[in-house]
Amino acid sequence: MDDQEIIELFFARSEQAITQLQGKYGNRCMQVAWNILNNRLDAEECVNDAYLAAWNTIPPQKPNPLLTYVCHIVRNLSIKRYHANTARKRNSHYDVALDELGECIQTKDTVENELAVKELADAINNFLGTLSRENRIMFIRRYWFADSVADIAVMLGTSSKIVSLRLLRVRKGLKKYLEKEGIWV
Amino acid sequence: MNKADISQTISQIDLNYIQEAMEADKVLLNGKGKEKQMWRFHKAHRFIEEILEGYTGTTDITAMGLQDMVIKYEDVMYVFSVEGDVLVMDVDGGKVSIPRTQIELSYEDLETLLNIFSNYGV
């Protein structure tokens, strides 16, 4: 079933929409949640909550592409759960990715955090536009999807060492870009 | 900037870029042949390694991506398939049925599986 047909099921308020969505994209959603949470039960809950959120927002939303939309919800819910869990336990896998980014992402403002985050996100989006397609994919697979370096290497048909090196260069480039834009202090 | 802020910032990356990165694994997930098989081996390998690190005795074998996988190792054929609510491991014609989730696997079983995948260089 193609995405358009699934969205039509959502619009018709047919519960088949969830079944079809789960059948088509369930594994991909689980992968995103698993990478962040590293816990099957938590991941399943987040994915199920994401289906519910999709049910509640489609309509009026008519997302295209559907997979990106659902994965975005899964990621947001997983991150929320991750930070709620952090007090109890740590997920080294996702922590490592965040630590890497923390080395090159800082803002001068901690009081008006929301504005700072928005400004920084805009700058990162602009920076991503300057990267080669492959470097951009590496960056997003690592820091948005929280994929391991080894997985990214397999995905792109290269070695882990090369992926690590290229990610390091991209992070250095990002830091430099943020300094130039006056965001990094 | 704390980790929650970093997560929030990264969440705001342009969806077009996310879509672009999404396509990168679609090729492998929807692809056929050796490349796809190697990808699945790699995922299973890593998954088993993670389980062994914090071994508790139970795991979800479906998350390893083993279903529908056929592996020949030291002249023994391992066939994994899903039939209803169980995952079937067919070892040279002798079938072992196991629940899809929260199955009990011994440390040795997992090590054997890990050796199988290592043998494939993944």
The number of C-beta contacts closer than 8 angstroms across A and B is: 107
pLDDT of the residue at A114 = 65
Dump pLDDT digits (tens) for A25-35: 888 888 888 88
pLDDT of the residue at B42 = 62
Distance from CA of B78 to the nearest CA of A (A): 23
How far is it, in rounded angstroms, from Cα A33 to Cα A27? 10
Any CB–CB contact under 8 A between A168 and chain B? no
Flag whether pLDDT at A129 surpasses 90. Answer: yes
Burial category of A137 from C-beta neighbours within 10 Å (exposed 0-12, middle 13-18, buried 19 and up): buried
Any CB–CB contact under 8 A between A66 and chain B? no
* Residues A128 and B14: beta-carbon distance below 8 Å: yes
Number of H helices, E strands in chain A: 9, 0
Residues of B with CB under 8 A from a CB of A: 1, 3-15, 17-22, 24-25, 28-29, 38-39, 42-43, 46, 50, 60, 63
Any CB–CB contact under 8 A between A102 and chain B? yes
Q: Is A83 within 8 Å of B7 when comparing Cβ atoms?
A: yes
Flag whether pLDDT at B100 surpasses 50. Answer: no
- Model ipTM? 0.74
Token pair listed for A46:
């987040």
Task: Tell me how crowded residue B48 is: count the other CB atoms within 10 A of its CB.
Answer: 25
Any CB–CB contact under 8 A between A53 and chain B? no
User: Measuring CA to CA, which residue among A87, A88, A91, A78 is closest to residue A144?
Assistant: A78
* Residues A143 and B30: beta-carbon distance below 8 Å: no
Dump pLDDT digits (tens) for B6-65: 888 888 899 889 888 887 765 554 445 555 555 566 666 666 666 566 555 555 555 555
pLDDT of the residue at B103 = 47
